[in-house]
Amino acid sequence: MAAQPYDEGPGRGDQPPPRSRARQDPRTLSNQETIVSDAPRRSRRRGEGGPPEPPGPPTKKDGGKGGWRRFVPSWKIVVAGFVVLAAGFFGMIMIAYANTPVPDVDQAKADAVAQQSTIYYRDGKTEIAKLGTKRVIVPISKMDQTVRDAAVAIENKTFYEDSGISISGMFRALYMTATGQQLQGASTITQQMASNYYDGLNREISIKRKISEIFVAVKINDKLSKEKILENYLNTVNFGRAYGVEAAAKAYFGDRATAAKLTPEQGAYLAARIQQPNWEPDAPALKDRWTTTIQYMAQQWPDRYGNLPQTAKWPKIRKDSNENELGGLKGYMVMQVLQELKDRGLPPDAVRSSGFHITSTFDRKLMLAAKEAVQSTTSSMSKEYHAGLAAVNPKNGRILAFYGGSNYVKDPFNEPFDAKKQAASAFKPYVLAAWLQAGYSLKSYVPGNETVPKEIPGIQKEGIRNSHNVGQAIDVVKATAQSVNTAYVSMAYALPGKIDEVKNLVESAGFDQKRMEADVNEHSYQFAIGSAPVSAVEQAAGYSIFANGGKYTKYHVVQEVRQGKQVVYPEQRASKQVVDPGVAADATVAMQEVLRSGTAAGQGLGNRPAAGKTGTNNNEKEAWFVGYTPQISAAVGFYREQCKTKKGRVVEPINSSCPETPRGKPSSKYNRDNPYSTAYEVSLGFEGAGPPTATWHKFMTLAHEGLPVEQFPKRAEIGVPENIVPSPTPTPKPTEDDPFDTGDDPLGDQGNQDCFVNPCNDNVTPTEEPTIDDGGDDTGFPQTANGDVAGGNNGNGHGNGGGRLPAPKPTGWASMPRSEER
C-alpha cells in the first residue's frame, strides 16, 4: 500500500483508516486518496497472499522538496546553463575581437597632430588668430628619460609587464560609462593611447566605444613594442596647453625647451597634468599630484630618483601669453571669445588644443572702423582719456565690432566690456519705453521746471533740477530731445508700478539684475535718469529693443564652433519680446528728434534714418552717445582717469594705465599691493554731445558704407495722453509734418540739459581736488573681497546681460561720485 502523507491522511478523524487499499473499491476513494494515488506506488504485496505493508515514511509530491525549494533548479542544470552562457559570451567577444581592425597608423597620425584652434571673423574664412601650439611628433629617442619614467610611474606602473589592459580599470570604466557618469579614462597607458591616438578627436561616450578601445589596446600590445606604444602615447596625450610632449614642453617651459631636455621636475610636472589637463598651471591639486609623481618615480626607480623627493623644486612655468596671438586689436577679440566659451563650459586650454574652427561675430571692416572712429577723436587727447565703443546687430544680438584699446598685450583692460560707468541721460529711453508700454502716449504733457509731485521719495531736499528754465509743461518728444530731468523722474513716478517698472524693463533688456537692484536701492528715482553703472556693450544691445521692434537678443561673440565637420558649440541666440513693436516705433520717433533738434542736433546720418540719446554725468566725469539704425546699434562712452601719487602729484599714465612703480621700472618699494600711483576720475571737460557723439557719427558713417538704406517703422500712435501737469497756454498746435514742432524752442538756451543736480557745470572744468572713496568702488556700492561689484555677478562671472564683470584694473578704479548723476 502506498504511503499516506501524515498531513493529508484521514486517520486524525473519528473513522479508522482502512486496513488495505487493495480491498477498497476505487470508486469509493476520497479526493485526497485520488490525488495521492497519482504518485508512484510500491508493490502492493511482499508475496502472494501476504499481509499489507505497514505505512512508510512520509514523502512530498515533488520527490522531497517543498515550498520555494521546488523552484530551485538542479545544480547540474545551473552548471550546464553557465557553461552555455559563458561559451556564448566569450564566443561573441572573440568574434568582436577578430572583427576589430587596428586603424591605419598614417591616418591616425594626421588626425592626431591637427590640434591648433583658429578663430575667424564672421565670414568664417578670414583668420583672426591661431591658438595653441601645434603638436610635433618626435621619436622616443628624443624624449627625455625623466618624462617617460614619470608618465609610467603616475599613470601605469605595470606598463612594461601588463598585457595592455587592466581588468579593474576596465570594469570601472564600463560601469561609469553605462551609468551615465563622467567618462572614465582607461587605466593603462596602452588603453589611453588607443583612445588618444586612434579615436582622434572623437570622444563619444558609449559602451561600444569603450569595448572597441579595449580590443584595440589588446591588439596594439601584441603588435607594437612597449617603446612604440609609449612614444605614440606621449606624442598624443593632452597636457593642457598643448597635445604631445614636444609642444607641451614649449608651452610650459619656453620656446627653447624640448622634450629631449627636461629636468626630472619638469618631466614630473608634465606627467602630473595628464589626469586633469585643464588644471591651472599652479593649481594646488596639480602640485599635490606632482609631488605624488616624484614619490612614485623614486619608489619605482630608486637608483635614478631616490633623492628626488628631498631635492625637487617646483619648476618655473611660463606665462600663458603669446604676443603673436594677442597683440594689437586681436587680443581683445580672442579674449572675449575665450571668455564666452569658458562660460559655456569650454576652458581656454581645451580651446587651444582641440583643433576647433571658431567663427566669431566680429566684422573685420567694422572693427577697423571702430578703431579709426575712436582714435581719430582721441588722438589729440592725453592718455588720461578712455573711450569704449561697441556695435551690435539688433536683429540677432551679434557683436559686430568694438574698440577696447589699441594693444591688448600692453593694456588688457577692455573698455566697452569691462568698464561699468553711470549711464546718465542715455538711460532715459528705457523710462520712455516703460511709459509707452503702460499705455501713455507721446502726446502727454510732463513737468518742466520741477517734478510732480515736488517731493519724490529718495530725492534730495533740493530736488531734481534742469540747467535752465524749460517752462511749466513740456511734451514727451521735447522732453526726450532736450533731455529734461524733471520730466523723466516724474514719468517714472507716474507709472503704475513706479520705478520698479523701469527696473524690470532694463533687466529684460539685458542689464544685470543685481546691479540694477543695488542702484535702485541706493539712488531710488535717480535710477530713471541714469545713476546705474552700465557698460557700452550693454547699452548697444539694450537699444536694440528700439531698433528691432521691441525684441531683445542676448549679445554674444561666437557664431559656432566646429570640430572637423561637426558643430560642437552652436550659436546661442536667446531672444524675448521686451516691449510691443508700437512702443519701439514711437520711442524711436522721440529719439530721432534728439539728432534733429535736440542735444545732438546735426549729428544724424543724412538721408539714413537714425535715432539716439546723449548722456553726461555730473561734472562731466562720464559722457555718452547711444544710437541706432535698423541695421546697427552702437554705444560710445568716455571717461577720464588722472594718476596721482600718495603725495598728490599727478603723473602720466603708461599705456593708459596708472604706473604701479615710478616710470614703470622695477621697484622694491612699490608693487600692485602698494602702487606708486592711483587712478581718480576727473572731469572730461565735454558733454555727450561732444566727442562721444562725434565718434558715434564717424563710426556709423563708415559702418553703413555699402549697406542699403532701411526705414524705421511708421509712428504707431499708441497710448493715450497722460498729462501729469496741465498743458501750457496756448496749447501747441501740431502740424502735419511734425506734430510736436511748435516753432520756438521752449527750452531756450539748451546749455547742459543732461545735468540734474545743482549746481550744474556748463563747460567748466572743476578745480576742486578729486576725493577718495573709502573702500567702495567707483559705482557707489559695495565690493566683494576680490573687488567685484557686490551683487553684480550671477555665479559664473556674468550678469544677465551676457557680459562678464570686469577684473580690477591694474591701476585701480577712480572714485565715482555718490551724488546723483545725469
Higher local confidence (pLDDT), 404 or 114? 404
pLDDT at 497 over 50: yes
pLDDT tens per residue, range 217-233: 677 777 788 899 899 88
pLDDT at 640 over 70: yes
pLDDT at residue 136, rounded to an integer: 82
pLDDT at residue 350, rounded to an integer: 82
Mean pLDDT computed over every residue of the chain: 78
Of the pLDDT bands very low, low, confident and very high (cuts 50, 70, 90), residue 594 is very high
Distance CA 651, CA 680 (A): 12
> Quick count: other Cβ atoms within 10 Å of Cβ 212?
18
**Buried-state track 552-585, b at ≥16 Cβ within 10 A, e below 16:** bbbbbbbbebbbeeeeebeeeeeeeebbbebbbb
Mean of pLDDT values over 609-633: 96
H helices of 254-400, in order, are 264-273, 284-300, 302-305, 308-311, 323-326, 330-343, 348-352, 364-378
Range with the largest mean pLDDT of 74-83, 662-671, 711-720, 762-771:
711-720
User: Can you read off the three cell numbers belonging to residue 440?
Assistant: 501713455
Percent of the chain scored above 90 by pLDDT?
53
Please tell me whether residue 446 adopts helix, strand or coil conformation.
strand
Of the pLDDT bands very low, low, confident and very high (cuts 50, 70, 90), residue 813 is very low
pLDDT at 628 over 50: yes
pLDDT tens per residue, range 512-558: 999 999 999 999 999 999 999 999 999 999 999 999 999 999 999 99
CB 500 within 8 A of CB 437: no
**What stretches of 398-463 adopt beta strand conformation (E)?**
399-403, 421-422, 445-447
Mean of pLDDT values over 574-601: 97
Range with the largest mean pLDDT of 24-33, 58-67, 354-363:
354-363
Q: Which residue has the cell 512520509?
A: 58
pLDDT at 253 over 90: yes
pLDDT at residue 223, rounded to an integer: 79
pLDDT at residue 728, rounded to an integer: 67
Which residues lie across from 678 on neighbouring strands?
644
pLDDT at residue 222, rounded to an integer: 73
Of the pLDDT bands very low, low, confident and very high (cuts 50, 70, 90), residue 250 is very high
pLDDT tens per residue, range 388-442: 999 999 999 999 999 999 999 889 999 999 999 999 999 999 999 999 999 999 9
SS3 content of the chain, % helix, strand, coil (to 5): 35, 10, 50
pLDDT at residue 172, rounded to an integer: 60
pLDDT at residue 736, rounded to an integer: 47
DSSP secondary structure code for residue 492 in this structure: H
**Cβ-based neighbours of 206, under 8 Å, separated by 6 or more:** 177
pLDDT tens per residue, range 260-290: 999 999 999 999 999 888 888 889 999 999 9
Of the pLDDT bands very low, low, confident and very high (cuts 50, 70, 90), residue 310 is very high
Distance CA 221, CA 230 (A): 11
Written as one letter, the residue type at 651 is V
Distance CA 223, CA 388 (A): 61
CB 330 within 8 A of CB 362: no
Identify which of 237, 236, 198 has the alpha carbon closest to the alpha carbon of residue 217.
Answer: 198
**What stretches of 124-211 adopt beta strand conformation (E)?**
127-131
Please tell me whether residue 230 adopts helix, strand or coil conformation.
helix
pLDDT tens per residue, range 370-397: 999 999 999 999 999 999 999 999 999 9
Which residues lie across from 804 on neighbouring strands?
798
Distance CA 202, CA 209 (A): 10
Please tell me whether residue 663 adopts helix, strand or coil conformation.
helix
pLDDT at residue 269, rounded to an integer: 97
Which residues lie across from 560 on neighbouring strands?
359
CB 393 within 8 A of CB 666: no
pLDDT at 698 over 90: yes
Please tell me whether residue 53 adopts helix, strand or coil conformation.
coil
Range with the lowest mean pLDDT among 61-70, 261-270, 399-408, 656-665?
A: 61-70
CB 568 within 8 A of CB 562: yes
Q: Which DSSP string corresponds to 683-728?
A: --SS-TTTHHHHHHHHHHHHHTTTPPP-PPPPP---SB---SSPPP
> Quick count: other Cβ atoms within 10 Å of Cβ 295?
17
Please tell me whether residue 243 adopts helix, strand or coil conformation.
strand
Backbone Cα Rg of the chain: 40
pLDDT at 110 over 50: no
pLDDT at residue 500, rounded to an integer: 97
CB 723 within 8 A of CB 430: no
Distance CA 537, CA 556 (A): 10
Of the pLDDT bands very low, low, confident and very high (cuts 50, 70, 90), residue 59 is low
pLDDT at residue 410, rounded to an integer: 87
Mean of pLDDT values over 666-679: 89
Range with the largest mean pLDDT of 5-9, 167-171, 512-516:
512-516
Q: Which residue has the cell 546697427?
A: 632
pLDDT at 34 over 50: no
